[in-house]
Amino acid sequence: METSKPVNIAQIGVGYWGPNLLRNLIANRRCNTVMVSDLSPERREFARKLHSSVGLTADPAEVFGDSRVEAVVIATPVATHFALTKQALQAGKHVLVEKPMACTVDEIDEIAAIAAAAKKVAMVGHTFLYNPAVRYLKKLIDAGTIGDVRYIYSQRLNLGRIRSDVDALWNLAPHDVSIIQYLLGNPKPVSVVRKGMDYIQKGVDDVVFMNIEYPHKVLAQIHVSWLDPQKIRKMTVVGTKKMVVYDDVADDKIAIYDKGIEPKAVLGEKMDYDRSAPVKFDHRSGDILLPKISSAEPLAVEIDHFIDCIQTGAACLTGTAHAREVVGILSCAG
């Protein structure tokens, strides 16, 4: 039974993604949404209709100066994340900020130092790490069910929504970088190579292919685009024992393939592969397993985790350390 008092929370920004956050904050009994800030009168009116008792302001400074507010959720343009997060922490508020937490590793290091000194939670909204399907895939990898990971490739494609403040890499790839780092146990990449192209707006890449090499010959490729005919949110993990496809837009989110190719044992002098003849291979093609995955909404799980971090001191899954890894990889890609 929940005995802790609800956390008084304010939200800054109710634009594209903000309504989803606000809806979950209002629905969560562990939260008391006391204030919403947005520059747009129309968006403030939207918030009022959604939650009639919430306070409204155009100025984030009113949020930071309100003694009732214990935590702040930030869902504003990327370029504003660092300054708003820093101000919130300096005002003594816990912070959950949308991805990416900031634009540079140095900015995240500064956020981490301020949060540590103030003893406040600084968390980034890498929502897919709270997705039941991604967590199921993580358990498969950690349990050794698919063997050693050989390579991972992801596609995050759609037609629109085209942005000008960030390119397709910084808009879409933080999700996939975050997932891959989580699945692999947060390794440091050996190399990061990016190739993109700007077709619609000069200097703003609409499509990007990013290749990451990790230790132990593990490869990852991320393909992002807002100029694709189909909406695709898919990641494939190829292991030495099995292969897994995570498809976020499919009814069956996880498909486990008992498939693989392995060298066939050849009788030789030492009962191994010591013959000079070409090695033969076994092609294994077994069953496809479609496990039942929880339908919990990732945003609801994310907000519950944020509150746990505030109320119980739980280790933050997507704190500044994880945020730094993601932004570091994106920065290396240019």
Structural domains of the chain in order of their starting residue, each with its CATH number: 7-125+298-332 (3.40.50.720), 129-289 (3.30.360.10)
* Residue 264 pLDDT greater than 80, yes or no: no
Q: Which residues, 6+ apart, have CB-to-CB distance to 251 below 8 Å?
A: none
Output DSSP code: residue 247: E
The C-alpha atoms of residue 147 and residue 140 are separated, in whole angstroms, by 9
Number of Cβ within 10 Å of residue 229's Cβ equals 8
The C-alpha atoms of residue 230 and residue 232 are separated, in whole angstroms, by 6
Which of 285 and 148 is assigned the larger pLDDT? 148
The C-alpha atoms of residue 32 and residue 26 are separated, in whole angstroms, by 7
Position 160 confidence tier, pLDDT thresholds 50, 70, 90:
confident
pLDDT for res 265: 62
Give which of 4, 10, 19 is closest to 314, Cα–Cα.
Answer: 4
The C-alpha atoms of residue 180 and residue 322 are separated, in whole angstroms, by 12
Region class of 164: left (phi > 0), else alpha (psi between -120 and 50), else beta: alpha
Give which of 226, 137, 232, 242 is closest to 182, Cα–Cα.
Answer: 137
Position 271 confidence tier, pLDDT thresholds 50, 70, 90:
low
Among the listed ranges 48-57, 119-128, 149-158, 310-319, which one has the minimum average pLDDT value? 48-57
Output DSSP code: residue 128: G
Q: What is the pLDDT of residues 199-218, one digit of tens each?
A: 999 999 999 999 999 999 99
Asked whether the beta carbons of 8 and 34 are under 8 A apart, the reply is yes
- Percent of the chain exceeding pLDDT 70 equals 93
Position 286 confidence tier, pLDDT thresholds 50, 70, 90:
confident
Q: What is the pLDDT of residues 52-97, one digit of tens each?
A: 889 999 999 999 999 999 999 999 999 999 999 999 999 999 999 9
Give the C-alpha distances (Å, rounded to integers) separating 142 from 87, 133, 145, 251: 38, 14, 8, 24
Q: Using only C-alpha atoms, what is the Rg of the chain? A: 22
The C-alpha atoms of residue 97 and residue 115 are separated, in whole angstroms, by 13
Structure token digits, residue 50:
């959604």
